[in-house]
A = this chain, B = another copy of it.
Amino acid sequence: MYMTSSNRVASLFGIRYPIIQGGMVWCSGWRLASAVSNAGGLGLLGAGSMYPDVLREHVKRCKEATDKPFGVNLPLLYAEPDEVIRIVLEEKVPIVFTSAGSPATYTALLQSHGVKVAHVVANTRFALKAVSAGVDALVAEGFEAGGHNGIEETTTMTLIPLIRQFSKLPLIAAGGIATGSQMLAAMAMGAEGVQIGTRFAVSAESSAHPAFKQAVLDSAEGDTALLLKKLVPVRLLKNPFSQAVKEAEANGADPGVLKEMLGRGRPKKGIFEGDLEQGELEIGQAAVLLNHIETVQEIFDDLIKGLSEAKNQLDRQFNYPGLAENH
């Protein structure tokens, strides 16, 4: 299946399918990003968990592994933005997705070097800032998403039409999306592409630890929760660490106590080293829809098949002569 050439997300990034792999800490190195780009989507390197020299190495390897466009995801609050931007420009990375910070800071600079810039938002306030900053596309990410998240808890179902009300920019839906029918749902609300994190986090090419992947695949409803709302809200898989945080929060723990509990380096411990007891297991609510490890190519095949089947199913629900009659 082909999207039309008028799909603005696909045209903007020069990709076949408007499917973006979310740049995720400790999951999305060159293997995952290049596999996604080779499959016709947009692979993103997750700079949030890479020292600058590590990022440069991943960029170089990604270029060797694919001749398709790929990008870097840059969480502005957590990495070393200046260094990352320098590497992006020196290595001529064509696309940057920024998040968790002000879109005003780097958008024009990147664009002046021909880099396409998308910015991830969870509310209209930041969406308006991103529009003012002149970004090329918006990613609207709902409450379902793994990792860091908006304080408003606005879900993807509510956020997409909300953002569409005031911006005509190419819009990418994120949060809770793991299947072709969900991709169609996002497009029904005016999104022109999707960003998928969780499903790629547990793909064969993800650099996450096998134990982390299996824990995600084994999880059930209610096993992810948005925690640490007094610091920065983050969606985590249930484990002894997150349970301890949950209990502390239920007992009224203040931000200082929570910060101490969190400490440093817990996402690496959980996602990359597979410490299921004490690691921070960042993952989205869509985990509940997944049950086995797949290659990126298998994921793409299933997404496109699912999208096509969902579209056919939807078309069967409509009676075109009746529709034409009334409008």
Contact = CB atoms under 8 A, between A and B. Distances in A.
Contact of A4 (B155, B158, B226, B317): B317
Contact of A251 (B125, B143, B252, B325): B252
Nearest to A164: B181
A150 to B, nearest CB: 8
A264 interface: no
Given A189-B185, A221-B152, A252-B251, A323 B308 contact: yes
Interface residues of A, number: 68
A155 B285 contact: yes
Given A7-B317, A317-B7, A188 B286 contact: no
A156 interface: yes
B230 A250 contact: yes
B323 A4 contact: no
Interface stretch (A20-28, A50-58, A76-84, A172-180): A172-180
A162 B222 CA distance: 13
A325 B188 CA distance: 23
Given A2-B326, A123-B221, A221-B124, A182 B154 contact: no
A112 interface: no
A263 interface: no
Nearest to A327: B308
Contact of A318 (B155, B311, B317, B327): B311
Contact of A322 (B1, B157, B179, B317): B1
Contacts of A318: 3-4, 311
B4 A316 contact: yes
A161 interface: yes
Interface of A: 1-7, 123-125, 142-144, 151-158, 160-162, 164-165, 175-177, 179, 181-182, 184-190, 192, 221-222, 225-226, 230, 250-253, 285-286, 288-289, 305, 308, 310-311, 313-314, 316-319, 322-323, 325-327
13 contacts: A1-B322, A2-B323, A2-B326, A4-B317, A124-B221, A144-B155, A154-B222, A155-B155, A155-B176, A158-B288, A162-B221, A311-B318, A314-B314
